[in-house]
Amino acid sequence: MQRPIVAGNWKMNGNLGSIATLVDAIEAGTGGLDRVRVVLFPPFVYLPQVSHRLKGTAISLGAQTLSEHTAGAFTGEVSASMLLDFDCSYVLVGHSERRNLSRESDLLVARKFVAARDAGLTPVLCVGESLQEREQGATEAVVARQLRVVLDLAGVQRFEGAVVAYEPVWAIGTGMTATPEQAQEVHAFIRRTLAEDNAGLATSLPILYGGSVRAANAAELLAMPDIDGGLVGGASLDASEFLGIAAAAQRHSEGT
Ligand code: PEP
């Protein structure tokens, strides 16, 4: 079994003081968790601070988005090479909040995925349906479309070293978690879709679930065969909740 990934997306939260406290608590609490890959996604401006604090630890650092361009007149944007300067190894691509609030299209998400992968970053490609789409029975069609645009632009080989996160939009920040069975169904569908292009790669690709994951529901989600970890929003701002999720992942990985 691959090491499960427990990733914390802090979104636009925190300040110098609270982030120092949070990262210290997470670092102290994950010391013994040798079978979990922990990744933190702070806001851009705190990357130098968190990067400095994580040096020499097993915790990886990621950014919440990146530019599809390498450099130039793109005010407010941050490139992949800038993220590498601060020891980022992961980057979220296509988070639903960016798809919806910043109007990021499937094609832009695909370009960002390519920019990340080509720079040597691990993109965490977020896909997922809205409540309306689920109620219309369109979940698989939406997820297939989101994946297909990236597969067509990037090519399946660029998924080697990438991560996919299934995040039903209706479960993000709402306290409404998908049931383990609902999540498993979509995770298996994602694997089948990628297998159409490369079966071997589809088997080994880590697929995370995101949407109101907490310490109390992490174990049952991680028990599903196609769930390889969690992308955690709200609960990642609370060190004890986040550490509870990481501990559940460690127990799952140890088979205890
Ligand atoms: C997210 O933002 O990726 C997320 C899953 O948020 P939450 O855990 O708060 O639902």
pLDDT at position 176? 86
Are 171 and 126 in contact by the 8 Å Cβ rule? The answer is no
pLDDT for 28 beyond 90: yes
Asked whether residue 125 is assigned to any structural domain, the reply reads: yes
Q: Is 252 a catalytic residue?
A: no
pLDDT in tens, 42-73: 999 999 999 999 999 999 999 999 999 999 99
**What integer pLDDT is reported at residue 124 of this predicted model?**
98
E strands, the chain, are 5-9, 37-41, 60-63, 88-93, 122-127, 163-166, 207-210, 229-232
Give 209's strand partners.
Answer: 166, 230
Q: Which domain holds residue 41?
A: 5-67+79-236
From the CB of 9, is ligand 1 less than 6 Å away? Answer: yes
Number of domains into which the chain is organized: 1
- The percent of residues above 90 in pLDDT, for the chain, comes to 96
pLDDT score of 143: 98
Q: Which atom of ligand 1 lies at the shortest distance from residue 236's CA?
A: 8
Note whether residue 56 is domain-resident. Answer: yes
252 part of a folded domain: no
Q: What is the pLDDT of residues 73-87, one digit of tens each?
A: 999 999 999 999 999
Q: Are 90 and 121 in contact (CB under 8 A)?
A: yes
Domain contains 31: yes
Q: Whose CA is nearest to atom 8 of ligand 1?
A: 233
Closest residue to atom 3 of ligand 1, CA basis: 233
- CA atoms in the 13 A half-sphere facing the CB of 251: 14
Q: Residue 62's domain is classified under what CATH number?
A: 3.20.20.70
Q: Which atom of ligand 1 is nearest to the CA of 95?
A: 3
Of the chain, the end-to-end C-alpha distance in Å amounts to 14
Q: Each residue of 166-193: pLDDT tens digit?
A: 999 999 988 888 999 999 999 999 999 9
Q: Going by C-beta distance under 8 Å and a sequence separation of 6 or more, which residues neighbour residue 146?
A: 94, 106, 109, 127, 128
- H helices then E strands: how many in the chain? 11, 8
> What is the pLDDT, as a whole number, of residue 211?
96
Quick one: average pLDDT of 90-94? Answer: 98
pLDDT band at 92 (very low <50, low <70, confident <90, very high): very high
Average pLDDT, the chain: 97
Decide if 129 is catalytic.
no
Has residue 226 been placed in a domain? Answer: yes
Residue 256 in this model has a pLDDT that exceeds 90: no
Residue 98 lies in a domain: yes
Q: Does some domain include residue 168?
A: yes
Asked if the structure places residue 114 within a domain, the reply is: yes
Question: Which residue has a Cα nearest atom 1 of ligand 1?
Answer: 233
